[in-house]
Chain A
Amino acid sequence: MEQIYDLVIVGAGPAGLTAALYAGRKGLKSLILSVDLGGQIAKSPTIENFPGFEEISGVELIEKILAQAKKYGAELAFEEVNSISKQNKLFAIKTNKAKYFSKAVILAFGKTPRTLDAKGEKEFLGKGVSYCATCDMPLFKNKIVAVVGGGNSALEAALYGASIAKKVYLIHRRAEFRADSTTVQKAKSTKNIELVLNSIVKEIKGDRFVKSILVEDVNTKKLTELAVDGVFVEIGFDTKTDFLKDLVKLDESGQIIIDNSCATSCEGIFAAGDVTNTPFKQAVVAAGEGCKAALSAYNWLKGIKGVAAEWGKPS
């Protein structure tokens, strides 16, 4: 018979790992299942707003929280959760590798980088196409790269790229950037950044590695081929919760709806961090919510009432 966990936590970012830390300290047998370690924050070179750390890289912060959670017995497996269902009084969690049973679940798997849906994008992933400029830009020293997007992360990736690569094309589908004006000014005045506005990437071409991209002008529909070695996609994030839609209530953008104790609409399932409808997608908020979700799960497992607001009634 398979081992039954008290708690399965899906996701290993600030929310999931903090939940594991609190669950461990409460003596719950917990397993963290995640496709990656750290999620979005692992891609951030410097974090200056996590209390207690004047300046720390995302990777270091995540390592610290993970080590702290492991100290209290948390287990971590790099597996992708494909489905969660209720079976008798337990939850069955199926991953790409195994099946687990747990008495309670915390969903804390954050958001997933949005893809371009351009031809060749999947084929050249890891062969020139990247969703992490901080991780992979150093591989493009003296090369030509394209950064796609118009927000802060895209502009910052372009500026970082300009310091490493020979040339950066900054491709954005609109005429104006959403990023902060100081960052936009900096990008505009950087010599080796060329702006390609009102344009979308239609196709990524190459042989073993990326060689060029086909860019379409959204107004004239004219196609231009640009020779590039790398394509950095920085067009935001999606909440990938489709597989949960029959289990927990989601809002219109797919975020999991939680109450103020991090309970979802399904008894025994809690949620925390960027995957939820909580405002302000910040590491410290995610960590705080992870703590709440773990303590709520603990109370629920122990039959302690009066913490979780009842669903359907105004609290």
Chain B
Amino acid sequence: MATKKVKIYTTDYCVYCRAAKDFFVKNKIPFEEINVGEDEEALNEMVTISGQMGVPVIVIDNEVIIGFNEPKIRKLLGLK
């Protein structure tokens, strides 16, 4: 399986951001984290691609997922 590019937009005290990151670590999926509380440009980018302001937003290749939608993430990553 080719490695998919995983990106997650987060803030510090967001429970589902942490749950999602834990999920990636447990499943040995490398990911890039962008803290939108610290990076305004990234925040604008997240709002543009997701059309909303809630975190986390997870991008797997070109698919945008709003929230920690585990079934959808598993499907996109080909995890059981």
Residues of A within 8 A of B (CB): 36-38, 42-43, 45, 57-59, 62-63, 78, 126-128, 130, 134-136, 138-139, 141-142, 208-209, 230
The answer to whether A136 and B16 have CB atoms under 8 Å apart is no
A106: min CB distance to chain B, Å:
21
Given contacts A135-B11, A136-B54, contact A37 B19 (CB under 8 A): yes
What are 21 inter-chain pairs, A to B, with CB distance below 8 A? Answer: A36-B15, A58-B13, A58-B15, A59-B14, A59-B15, A59-B18, A62-B15, A63-B18, A78-B70, A126-B52, A126-B53, A127-B51, A128-B53, A134-B13, A136-B53, A138-B37, A139-B36, A139-B55, A142-B40, A209-B47, A230-B53
Q: CB-CB < 8 A to A58: which residues of B?
A: 13, 15
User: Which among A37, A57, A59, A127 is the interface contact of B52 at CB below 8 angstroms?
Assistant: A127
Q: CB-CB < 8 A to B14: which residues of A?
A: 59, 135
Q: Does B43 reach chain A (CB closer than 8 Å)? A: yes
Cα(A148)–Cα(B8), bound, Å: 30
Given contacts A127-B52, A128-B53, contact A139 B15 (CB under 8 A): no
Cα(A142)–Cα(B18), bound, Å: 25
User: Which among A126, A128, A139, A208 is the interface contact of B43 at CB below 8 angstroms?
Assistant: A139
Q: CB-CB < 8 A to A230: which residues of B?
A: 53
The answer to whether B53 and A127 have CB atoms under 8 Å apart is yes
Given contacts A57-B13, A62-B15, contact A141 B37 (CB under 8 A): yes
A47: min CB distance to chain B, Å:
12
Q: CB-CB < 8 A to B12: which residues of A?
A: 138
Q: CB-CB < 8 A to A38: which residues of B?
A: 15
Q: CB-CB < 8 A to A59: which residues of B?
A: 13-15, 18
Chain B minimum-CB-distance residue to A44: B13
In addition to A135-B11, A209-B47, 9 A-B residue pairs with Cβ atoms within 8 Å of each other are: A37-B16, A37-B19, A42-B15, A59-B13, A59-B14, A62-B15, A136-B11, A138-B36, A141-B43
Q: CB-CB < 8 A to A136: which residues of B?
A: 11, 53-55
Q: CB-CB < 8 A to A45: which residues of B?
A: 13
Q: Mark B39-68, 1 if CB is under 8 A from A, else 0.
A: 010010001000111110000000000000
Q: CB-CB < 8 A to B70: which residues of A?
A: 78
Instruction: List the 7 shortest-distance A-B pairs measured between CB atoms, nearest first.
Output: A138-B37, A42-B15, A126-B54, A126-B52, A134-B13, A138-B11, A59-B15
Cα(A149)–Cα(B66), bound, Å: 28
Cα(A128)–Cα(B12), bound, Å: 18
A313: min CB distance to chain B, Å:
42
B12: min CB distance to chain A, Å:
7
Q: CB-CB < 8 A to B16: which residues of A?
A: 37
